Structure 1
Amino acid sequence: MGRLFGTDGVRGVANADLTAELALGLSVAAAHVLAEAGTFAGHRATAVVGRDPRASGEFLEAAVVAGLASAGVDVLRVGVLPTPAVAHLTGALGADLGVMLSASHNAMPDNGIKFFARGGHKLADELEDRIESVYAEHRTGAPWDRPTGAGVGRVRDYDEGLDQYVAHLVGVLPNRLDGLKIVLDEAHGAASRVSPEAFARAGAELVTIGAVPDGLNINDGCGSTHLDLLKAAVVEHGADLGIAHDGDADRCLAVDHTGAEIDGDQILAVLALAMREREALRSDTVVATVMSNLGFKLAMEREGIRFVQTGVGDRYVLEEMKEHGYALGGEQSGHVIILDHATTGDGTLTGLMLAARVAQTGRTLRDLASVMERLPQVLVNVPDVDKSRVSTSAELAAAVSEAERELGSTGRVLLRSSGTEPLVRVMVEAADIEQARSVAGRLADVVKSALG
């Protein structure tokens, strides 16, 4: 059996890769690993369990709840809420662990299981490995230690969760949103109730789209991966800006009043300046990944803000932030972490903070985002190659060096192996789009010949 945990939990096609049996077994294993300091030290361990609206989440939630309760863990079932809400409630309620059922921006047939440790934090690799080890051990025949009688876990619905989370979001805003007209695209996902409620309480006038989940339409032509509907709605309604979430609302992308996209790098740039202004940007530092646009790096240097880069994945951004006490980090895809108020990327919080900056300054989002210029970026996926040799091929290294000399200080090359597929991603940035395409095409050809 290969490693079950990927970059963000355990994910796959529901009822094929991710079965009820797997969900139940992993939940029991997680209970033993994450709640052992609680259950096995004399007090009742508690878990918070939430999900997005996917139809498969109904049976997977039942399996997870059954697994946790059978291991002696009391379960607070919060229903359909965003991933960051489950993380927040895990910490706020003092729970021993949290579980979120979602495949984020993936298509409806997929689903996933994300576990949170005490405090609502994502799991370190070693904790995931321990859960897998315990699961594998008992899957091959070793019996579980099963409580009986009064020792089994109790299950209750925690309906207060939505209001508690919304109150938290509105309570941390630096200013209200009165006077702003905002279009929200909820991707027919987990934030379909939460996000409109939070923005309305903060004073915004709202137009909401993609907020009627039926279990089958999540991320279907809407949300942060399909911005055309939001762009059109912002222009049609004369809105000041638009906010788009993905299925579990841990990310946020935006649209300005003209219908132009504002990506995660631009959002980070706007928030970094706002947080520095109110002395909330600790060490005047922002954390982002190697996939961030070079224009973001150049803008932060020009503004006197330090830019720290990590590997691809919001978990690596978060690890860097926690280790050094930084307050702001994120990804180009819209995962933005504001660590003073959230333990993970939070799309609703990000959107609220972005709108608050527009309201506070009286400037358009287009104007605020112009602090950085997005350099043309070309990404080419090269399939069916030996990705393990990306860092050892002399031919490839020579080609990259030549490309970097050609691009100079206004360009960049990044070669990255896919974490899930036999392919290499070639990313090239340049001041000119044609140059970026040309260099990317040449490098892709070298990848094919050197690693094919």
Structure 2
Amino acid sequence: MIEQGCVIGDNVTIGAVSDLKRPIIWNGVTIGDESYLAACVIARGTRLDRRAQVLEGAIIGPLSIVGEEAQISSNVRVWPSKRIESGAILNINLIWGSTANRNLFGQRGVTGLANIDITPEFAVKLGAAYGSTLKAGSQVVVSRDQRGFSRMISRSLISGLMSVGIDIQNLEATAIPISRTMTPKLGVSGGVHLRAHPDRMDHILIEFFDDEGINISKSQEKKIEGAYFKEDLRRVGIADIGIMAYPAQIIETYRQTFETQLDLDSISNSEPKIVIDYAYGVSGAILPQLLTKFGCDAIVLNASLRQTSVPTEERESLLHQLGQVVEAVKANLGAQVSANGEQFILVDESGLPIRGEWLTALMVNTIFTAYPRSIVVVPVEASSAVEQIARRHDGRVIRTKSNPTALMEAAQANSNVSLGGSGDTGFIFPQLHPGFDAMFSLAKLLEMLATQGRSLVQIQAELPRICHKSYVLRCPWKIKGALMRYLVEIHHHEQLELIDGVKIINPQNDNWVLILPDAGDAFVHIVANSDDRE
């Protein structure tokens, strides 16, 4: 239906059953079927997909794309060459970023370009949306890494939380394992941690915890998204605005919790020598205090705090330097700590790095030796070496979806779990706290090496052969579902494992191929595992 008063330029395509109420449409615009446009401006070359809605006063800049069933709210401005995802509801101007997403949360928390996608204005509204899903007067832990943009965004997020009547326990700059430890100890309703994204140096990552320190569930994420997009934000009177406190003795509390899970005598009696590269992260201000108390001879590298993220090339250079130092001083091991205290790479006595699936297998072997017949939780893409090691020790392996929340929940839900995670995600020791913790992992590894009387080189010699490769292929969003259905249809159910994505297994051995859609981008991950490199 085209009402009187519409202005339509040249070479405009209008789909069937579209409803146009006095819009101004420039040249070369394509409008999909069943779209709704009301008193808006659609600039040159823009494409609106099926059932898109653009409301009164909105202006869409040239060469933009509005996805299927997306909605542009009244008086919203979209700058040129932007893309609004299918199903997205855009109620703020889209100026700096390139894309308006239909979801706030991705595979792991809320992430985006620092000060472009994740701005102070965005953080205020996000904080208010999160706080509106909690009861007024609730308390929330807020922490961050040492970087300036994390400080800026955390202050904005705190303002949003306080505006809806949420009290803040501000841990300021600290490692994320400490935040997870303090969340249940402070008796708060949840927590938020802000940091540089572990894999994208120009991105910021915002993670939300529940009252136990586990990443919040998908249902809670949807509640926050609903409050954010619908602007269903609570407002409280001046007397009920949240207050902020700064808890004391955070590191001491973490250290005491840390010590209860370790055999300190075994560590101190073995007098281990360890070289640790902190890669200029905040964990460098914490771990030296802990290791000194455990009687370790710790040589520290790059422990000063840096405001910017360390590029991948520099991190590899630091790892090479670490290997040289370990070999020169004849240390028991070396470790490079990253991801705000969650992840690490080991270096053995000969200066060679141990990472990825080799690190997973080494930690699983060591933990099963210390705790036979226990349970280990790993992501679906971990190598089959884990099961081979478990069979040697009468242990059990639980595989989960390929996301941190699933690993945390499974590690907490199952009794007798001794270890969770992988070399890529970091490791969980559920008796300590529910999250990944590189600092405790290293201390526990030193304890197990001392009690077992083994070195890293000796453990590696015992590991099964690992032939494990992964690839990333571009795959349009619209094809992902059809691809998964096709793979399920053409394979017998005995060959399939559908924990996450589609894993095609060989029932006769431990060989398999996993096709795993990426939750945040137009990619699929293909992971292959075999007992032979051929």
- Residue 25 (structure 1) aligned with residue 125 (structure 2): yes
CA contact (8 A) 2:201 2:310 kept: yes
Corresponding residue number in structure 2 for 1:12: 112
**Which one is further off, 244-253 or 336-345?**
244-253
Aligned equivalents of 1:154 and 1:227: distance in 2?
43
Corresponding residue number in structure 1 for 2:302: 210
Give CA-to-partner distance per residue, 1:43-76, whole Å, 9 cap, x none: x422221111222111111112212222222222
Corresponding residue number in structure 1 for 2:34: none
**Which one is further off, 83-92 or 418-427?**
418-427
Give the partner amino acid of 1:276: Y
| Distance 1:275-1:313 versus aligned 2 partners, 3 A rule | farther
Aligned equivalents of 1:369 and 1:306: distance in 2?
21
Percent identity between the two aligned chains: 21
Give the partner amino acid of 1:171: T
Aligned equivalents of 2:352 and 2:465: distance in 1?
13
| Distance 1:175-1:367 versus aligned 2 partners, 3 A rule | farther
Give the partner amino acid of 1:355: L
- Residue 343 (structure 1) aligned with residue 464 (structure 2): no
Within a 5 Å distance, the mapping from 1:224-373 to structure 2 comes to 227-263=319-355, 264-276=359-371, 284-327=374-417, 328-373=419-464
| Distance 1:404-1:88 versus aligned 2 partners, 3 A rule | closer
Q: Secondary structure at the match of 2:198?
A: coil
Give the partner amino acid of 1:185: D
Give the partner amino acid of 1:290: V
| Distance 1:378-1:23 versus aligned 2 partners, 3 A rule | same
Corresponding residue number in structure 1 for 2:253: 164
Q: Secondary structure at the match of 1:126?
A: helix
| Distance 1:45-1:321 versus aligned 2 partners, 3 A rule | same
CA contact (8 A) 2:128 2:233 kept: no
- Residue 392 (structure 1) aligned with residue 489 (structure 2): no
Gaps of 5+ in 1: 278-282, 436-452
Corresponding residue number in structure 2 for 1:440: none
CA RMSD in angstroms comes to 2.9
Aligned equivalents of 1:315 and 1:326: distance in 2?
19
Aligned equivalents of 1:428 and 1:77: distance in 2?
44
Aligned equivalents of 2:127 and 2:365: distance in 1?
40
**Which one is further off, 322-331 or 347-356?**
322-331
Deviation at 1:101, TM superposition (A): 0.4
Higher Rg of the two aligned structures: 2
Aligned equivalents of 1:260 and 1:313: distance in 2?
29
Deviation at 1:334, TM superposition (A): 4.3
Q: In structure 1, which of residues 30, 46, 68 is the aligned counterpart of residue 139 of structure 2?
A: 46
- Residue 80 (structure 1) aligned with residue 170 (structure 2): no
Greater relative CO (CA pairs within 8 A, separation 6+): 1
Q: Which has the higher strand share?
A: 2
Deviation at 1:154, TM superposition (A): 1.8
| Distance 1:9-1:395 versus aligned 2 partners, 3 A rule | closer
Deviation at 1:333, TM superposition (A): 0.9
Corresponding residue number in structure 1 for 2:151: 58
Q: Secondary structure at the match of 1:409?
A: coil
Q: In structure 1, which of residues 150, 153, 166 is the aligned counterpart of residue 242 of structure 2?
A: 153
Corresponding residue number in structure 2 for 1:441: none
CA contact (8 A) 1:270 1:369 kept: no
Aligned equivalents of 1:374 and 1:316: distance in 2?
27
| Matched pairs, number | 418
Q: Which has the higher helix share?
A: 1
Q: Secondary structure at the match of 1:48?
A: strand
Aligned equivalents of 2:491 and 2:515: distance in 1?
13
Deviation at 1:102, TM superposition (A): 1.5
Q: Secondary structure at the match of 1:300?
A: helix
Aligned equivalents of 1:329 and 1:369: distance in 2?
20
Deviation at 1:426, TM superposition (A): 1.8
Deviation at 1:405, TM superposition (A): 8.8
CA contact (8 A) 1:251 1:333 kept: yes
Give CA-to-partner distance per residue, 1:307-356, whole Å, 9 cap, x none: 11112122212222333334221123142111111111111111111111
| Distance 1:225-1:371 versus aligned 2 partners, 3 A rule | farther
Give CA-to-partner distance per residue, 1:215-240, whole Å, 9 cap, x none: 11446546699743433332233211
Q: Secondary structure at the match of 2:275?
A: strand
Q: In structure 2, which of residues 273, 297, 303 is the aligned counterpart of residue 181 of structure 1?
A: 273
Give the partner amino acid of 1:295: A
